[in-house]
Amino acid sequence: MPASSPSLRELLAKLVAFDTTSTKSNLELIAYVKDYLDSHGVASTLTPSEDGKKASMFAWMGPDGEGGIGLSGHSDCVPIEGQTWSSDPFKLELRDGKLYGRGACDMKGFLACVLASVPLFLSRPLKEPVHIIVSYDEEVGCTGVRPLIARLGSDLPQPRAIIVGEPTTMAVVEAHKGVDTYRTVVTGREVHSSLPQLGVNAISFAAELVKEIDRIGTSLATSQINDRFHPPFSTVQVGTIEGGTAANIVPKTCELHWQVRSLPKADPGFASEWLKAYADEKLLPRMRRVALAASIETHYQGSVPAFLAKPSSEAVALARALTGANATSTVSYGNGGRAVRAGRLPDRDLRSWRYRAGPCGRRVRDAGPTRRLHDLPPHARRTASRIDVIVMPTKAGI
């Protein structure tokens, strides 16, 4: 064990200095964390991505065997492009009693707290293991942690509860909305703008889809209400739209990306099915009167399924005991906690594994990791049924 360990602030400064934007590798950060754990005699193992450019880490302290508490955080962060920073985002800076840097809250601050606590954990006679989980690609769909999850209860110890250290201003979060992302491509007919009657304007029809998505949102706002969430209903919104080539050309294609955030008990396919029916009944007949090859295709891009802790959750009880919280909270953003509990989904839908993009909003399951619960291998079913997860608080700053 080293004679002295870095301070919490020094650890956070080091983690922030690694540019782990989701489009980039996290291997340098993982190597630093591994070296730090090695210096304290803490065993760890890596689960690399398919291309070898990223990796998740699983480490453990205390007695061997199943059970114990997992402390989970993601290493990636969102981009800085298009943002105005008054300081270097990858250099931790103290201003007015707060530390600023990309990922300082979400969620390298939690990882720094966990690493700074390693000497404390090692100094205590732990009755059960403490596990450290560092994942990647949380910001782009919580995909990086899933290969590691598949190893729990197989060749890696299986925690009985996992705490995900998202920045919740010290609230204990026991539920979050699901996120389903779609890409809709409108294909019309390209002609010179002097003869618009001979073409099919893809942007104009995409604009009608956008207006219909807004109407779907209005319907969602009144169809199911859960006052524990803010806003208290499922939402849908268009994030980007792109189309056309020049002002004097009727555009042939237009593409829009849109997203649904569903309450835990809502039907996540409601919006895509509505939009498909609208396109089939209202738009495509008009488009194909001019161009038979015209089309509207919606491709399912992926999901972060909704999360709701079970009423008897050990993780919730532990988090409330540690924080002294009298109540729990919910959030409308997604996180890796739902991916950890993927196998706890009802048998009809294990959506947190993988679906390939299918046309018209239909989710088409690939062979491979996507399985119904009863099709999962025995160790995965055991993992699914035993792991308890909670989104644990960290402050929005250190």
pLDDT at 367: 32
pLDDT at 191: 98
Name every residue whose Cβ is closer than 8 Å to that of residue 66 and which is 6 or more positions away in sequence.
153, 157, 158, 160
pLDDT at 366: 33
Phi, psi (deg, nearest 5) at residue 207: -65, -35
pTM of the predicted model as reported, rounded to 2 decimal places: 0.74
Q: Where are the beta strands (DSSP E) in the chain?
A: 43-48, 55-61, 69-74, 93-95, 98-100, 130-135, 161-164, 173-176, 178-187, 191-192, 235-243, 249-250, 253-262, 295-304, 307-308, 329-331, 355-357, 363-365, 388-391
Distance between CA atoms of residues 25 and 168, nearest Å:
26
Walk me through the domains of the chain, giving residue ranges and CATH numbers. 8-176+307-349+371-391 (3.40.630.10), 178-304 (3.30.70.360)
pLDDT at 382: 40
* Pairing mode of beta strands 43-48, 55-61: antiparallel
Report the interhelical angle of 270-278 vs 202-223 (nearest 10°).
Answer: 140
pLDDT at 209: 98
Mean pLDDT by 10 residues, the chain (398 residues): 83 98 97 97 96 96 90 95 93 95 94 96 95 93 87 91 87 92 97 98 98 98 94 97 98 98 93 97 98 97 87 88 90 65 32 29 34 36 48 44
Name every residue whose Cβ is closer than 8 Å to that of residue 31 and which is 6 or more positions away in sequence.
none
pLDDT at 107: 92
Please count the other Cβ atoms lying within 10 Å of the Cβ belonging to residue 81: 6
